[in-house]
């Protein structure tokens, strides 16, 4: 009896244990809802084996059997948590603005150890490379011209206009710096140009005047104003080689050639009469002939816009400034402002206003008959070019008791000034009245005389100027 009761107790205990085990295996349904916006709606997607599937209603709030857990995104995030268990699920990139997704425009967010940015990837366009070539204008061209000029390349005027002279200078730079010589400033050329390793032009050695084959010089032949022929042409070529003339020899002994002969005589002989006789020509063709860096005239050609770093251009600019046509700097570059000044001078002096300084323009420009701006057809006496005399009062100057020349300048008056004016008038340099007053007209006449003799045209009649004027450059007692 006791054994039978024991078996029944054991059977009952086993049933209770089985019931308890079965009760513990019952799963509670997952009723998690999305409370991030307070509506209780489900999130817009769920994760099924790592794949996001859009949802359409609350009936899918519970994961079906055999699928992974439902993932709810926090507000404002664009990524889902990254599981620490490999293979559970991956990061999901939620597209912004797509139908079925209520996601604001994102910013880079860190969530679950993964950074995902929803900002669209836009390629930043590369800047268009600068290419400068013939015909270009603007500040970039001007900056390039200034750099070339700083490196001593003959670029002409720094005016922002890419012309022929700028192209030639750029080609010279490219050749010197082992670049492609095409006259176009591309990125490679500009990079080299603005670098510290940019090379300047090779220095040009100054040629030493050499003796030329001396032509047959006849003792009874004198080359002077009005002479023509092959002898004059050979003489001009030698004067050009020594720097006293510019241009091309034309075989015509004009006033410009005469001025060059006088300038040569001033540096190489004890006289300066402007006549090339035997002694002058022998010295001219010798190896000991002294040259000059300042040309006194131009023959057979024209100085025009684009010429640069030229002593002749500086001389022209200086003269135009004296006549009040030019206000720029004396830089030797024939640019737009110099050209405008030349045209204005030509118009006022009844010359063809082409802006080029040829032989005719040059001769009038450096004559004592050159007219200033606003000049009348017939200037008043003593006022070349119609320029008014601006001397408020004059100072009387008396002779030197020792007999030496007294330096005379604008503002002086007296018998010494009257003598000076008469001498200048006799030689064709002064057109005004011999009134003994050293005014603007007398100053211009003195400058014209000084230029004709190769002297510095300062308008001051010093001892040297008066010696040339009164004695023909022959020292007293010689």
Sequence-ordered list of residues with C-beta below 8 angstroms from that of 410, at least 6 positions apart, any chain: 391, 438, 439, 440, 442, 443, 459
300: left (phi over 0), alpha (psi -120 to 50) or beta: left
Whether domain 384-471 has CATH 1.20.58.100: no
DSSP-based three-state secondary structure for 137:
strand
106 pLDDT more than 70: no
Distance, C-alpha 304 to centroid of its chain: 19
What pLDDT is stored for residue 391 in this prediction? 65
Per DSSP, the residues of 3-50 read HHHHHHHHHHHHHHHHHHHHHHTPPPP------SSSS-PPPSEEEETT
What pLDDT is stored for residue 179 in this prediction? 92
What pLDDT is stored for residue 203 in this prediction? 74
376 pLDDT more than 50: no
For residues 278 and 404, give the distance between their C-alpha atoms in angstroms, rounded to a whole number.
33
What value does the mean pLDDT take over residues 222-227? 87
Question: First CA to last CA across the chain, in angstroms?
Answer: 179
What pLDDT is stored for residue 177 in this prediction? 92
- Pairing, β 246-247 against β 298-299: parallel
In this structure, which topology does domain 230-298 adopt according to CATH? Muramoyl-pentapeptide Carboxypeptidase; domain 1 (1.10.101)
313 in Cβ contact with 289 (< 8 Å) = no
Stretch among 94-103, 173-182, 285-294, 420-429 having the lowest mean pLDDT: 94-103
Stretch among 11-25, 204-218, 250-264, 372-386 having the lowest mean pLDDT: 372-386
Outline where 91-229 has alpha helix (H). 139-150, 164-176, 187-193
Angle CA(238)–CA(244)–CA(246) in degrees, nearest 5? 85
Residue scoring higher pLDDT (151 or 432) = 151
pLDDT tier for residue 189 given thresholds of 50, 70 and 90: very high
What value does the mean pLDDT take over residues 140-160? 88
For residues 317 and 321, give the distance between their C-alpha atoms in angstroms, rounded to a whole number.
6
95 pLDDT more than 60: no
pLDDT tier for residue 212 given thresholds of 50, 70 and 90: low
What pLDDT is stored for residue 164 in this prediction? 84
421 pLDDT more than 70: yes
381 pLDDT more than 50: no
Query: Strand runs (DSSP E) across 166-265, as ranges?
Result: 246-247
What pLDDT is stored for residue 58 in this prediction? 43
What pLDDT is stored for residue 433 in this prediction? 85
Nearest to 296 by CA among 283, 314, 284: 314
Highest mean pLDDT pick, 242-256, 413-427, 446-460: 413-427
What value does the mean pLDDT take over residues 82-94? 45
Torsion of Cα atoms, 210 then 216 then 219 then 223, to 10°: -70
Residue scoring higher pLDDT (385 or 391) = 391
Sequence-ordered list of residues with C-beta below 8 angstroms from that of 435, at least 6 positions apart, any chain: 382, 418, 421
Per DSSP, the residues of 335-358 read -HHHHHHHHHHHHHTTS--SS-B-
Question: For the chain, what is the largest distance between any 2 Cα atoms, rounded to a whole number of angstroms?
Answer: 180
What pLDDT is stored for residue 310 in this prediction? 76
404 in Cβ contact with 463 (< 8 Å) = yes
Stretch among 46-50, 321-325, 351-355 having the lowest mean pLDDT: 46-50
Stretch among 37-46, 134-143, 377-386 having the lowest mean pLDDT: 377-386
- Helix (H) or strand (E) run with residue 265 in it: helix 255-268
- As a whole number, the mean pLDDT across the chain is 75
Tell me, yes or no, if the two domains 139-193 and 384-471 fold the same way: yes
For residues 457 and 370, give the distance between their C-alpha atoms in angstroms, rounded to a whole number.
15
Placement of tokens 């050609």 in the chain: 301
Whether domain 302-365 has CATH 1.10.101.10: yes
Stretch among 36-40, 235-239, 364-368 having the lowest mean pLDDT: 36-40
Residue scoring higher pLDDT (171 or 122) = 171
Q: What is the CATH number of domain 139-193?
A: 1.10.101.10
Burial letters for 353-371: b for 16+ Cβ neighbours within 10 Å, e otherwise? eebbbbbebbbbbbbbebb
Stretch among 251-255, 344-348, 379-383, 392-396 having the lowest mean pLDDT: 379-383
What pLDDT is stored for residue 158 in this prediction? 85
pLDDT tier for residue 411 given thresholds of 50, 70 and 90: confident
373 pLDDT more than 90: no
What pLDDT is stored for residue 221 in this prediction? 76
Share of the chain above pLDDT 70, in %: 69
439 pLDDT more than 90: no
What value does the mean pLDDT take over residues 425-436? 87
What pLDDT is stored for residue 278 in this prediction? 86
Highest mean pLDDT pick, 99-103, 300-304, 422-426: 422-426
Stretch among 29-38, 147-156, 304-313, 314-323 having the lowest mean pLDDT: 29-38
Residues 307, 312, 318, 324, CA torsion sign: negative
Stretch among 57-71, 314-328, 357-371, 398-412 having the lowest mean pLDDT: 57-71
User: Model confidence over 299-348: pLDDT tens digits?
Assistant: 877 888 988 877 788 889 988 998 889 988 888 889 999 999 999 999 99
Torsion of Cα atoms, 159 then 354 then 440 then 409, to 10°: 60
Stretch among 14-28, 225-239, 315-329 having the lowest mean pLDDT: 14-28
* DSSP label at residue 151: T
Sequence-ordered list of residues with C-beta below 8 angstroms from that of 315, at least 6 positions apart, any chain: 294, 295
Torsion of Cα atoms, 190 then 196 then 200 then 203, to 10°: -170
Distance, C-alpha 280 to centroid of its chain: 46
What pLDDT is stored for residue 45 in this prediction? 44
Structural domain boundaries of the chain?
Answer: 139-193, 230-298, 302-365, 384-471
18 pLDDT more than 70: yes
Per DSSP, the residues of 369-432 read T---TT--SSPPTT-GGGPPP--S--EE----TT-PPPPB-TTEESHHHHHHHHHHHHTT---S
């Amino acid at each position: 009896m006791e054994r039978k009761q024991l078996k029944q107790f054991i059977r009952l205990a086993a049933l209770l244990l089985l019931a308890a085990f079965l009760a513990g295996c019952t799963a509670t349904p997952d009723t998690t809802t999305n409370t991030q916006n307070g509506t209780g709606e489900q999130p817009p997607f769920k994760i099924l084996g790592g794949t996001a599937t859009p949802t359409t209603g609350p009936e899918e709030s519970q994961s079906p059997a055999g699928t992974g857990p439902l993932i709810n995104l926090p507000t404002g995030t664009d990524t889902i948590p990254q599981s620490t268990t490999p293979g559970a699920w991956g990061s999901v990139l939620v597209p912004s603005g797509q139908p079925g997704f209520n996601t604001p425009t994102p910013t880079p967010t860190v969530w679950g150890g993964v950074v995902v940015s929803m900002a669209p990837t836009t390629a930043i366009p590369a800047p268009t490379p600068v290419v400068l070539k013939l015909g270009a204008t603007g500040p970039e061209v001007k900056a390039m011209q200034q750099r070339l000029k700083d490196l001593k390349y003959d670029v002409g005027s720094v005016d922002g206009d890419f012309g022929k002279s700028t192209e030639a200078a750029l080609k010279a730079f490219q050749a010197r710096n082992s670049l492609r010589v095409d006259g176009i400033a591309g990125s490679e050329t500009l990079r080299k140009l603005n670098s510290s390793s940019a090379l300047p032009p090779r220095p040009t050695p100054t040629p030493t005047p050499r003796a030329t084959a001396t032509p047959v010089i006849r003792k009874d032949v004198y080359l002077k104003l009005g002479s023509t022929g092959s002898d004059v042409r050979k003489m001009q070529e030698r004067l050009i080689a020594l720097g006293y003339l510019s241009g091309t020899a034309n075989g015509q002994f004009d006033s410009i050639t005469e001025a060059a002969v006088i300038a040569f005589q001033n540096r190489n002989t004890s006289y300066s009469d402007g006549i090339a006789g035997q002694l002058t020509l022998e010295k001219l063709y010798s190896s000991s002939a002294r040259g000059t860096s300042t040309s006194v005239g131009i023959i057979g050609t024209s100085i025009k816009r684009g010429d640069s770093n030229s002593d002749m251009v500086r001389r022209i600019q200086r003269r135009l400034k004296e006549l009040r046509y030019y206000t720029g700097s004396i830089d030797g570059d024939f640019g737009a402002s110099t050209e405008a000044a030349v045209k204005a001078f030509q118009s006022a002096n009844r010359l063809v206003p082409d802006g080029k300084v040829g032989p005719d323009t040059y001769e009038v420009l450096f004559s004592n008959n050159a007219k200033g701006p606003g000049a009348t057809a017939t200037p008043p006496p003593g006022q070349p070019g119609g320029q008014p005399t601006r001397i408020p009062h004059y100072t009387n100057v008396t002779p030197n008791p020792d007999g030496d020349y007294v330096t005379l300048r604008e503002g002086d008056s007296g018998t010494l000034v009257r003598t000076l004016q008469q001498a200048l008038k006799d030689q064709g340099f002064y057109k005004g009245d011999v009134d003994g007053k050293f005014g603007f007209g007398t100053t211009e006449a003195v400058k014209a005389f000084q230029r004709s003799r190769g002297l510095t045209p300062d308008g001051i009649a010093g001892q040297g100027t008066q010696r040339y004027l009164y004695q023909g450059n022959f020292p007293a007692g010689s």
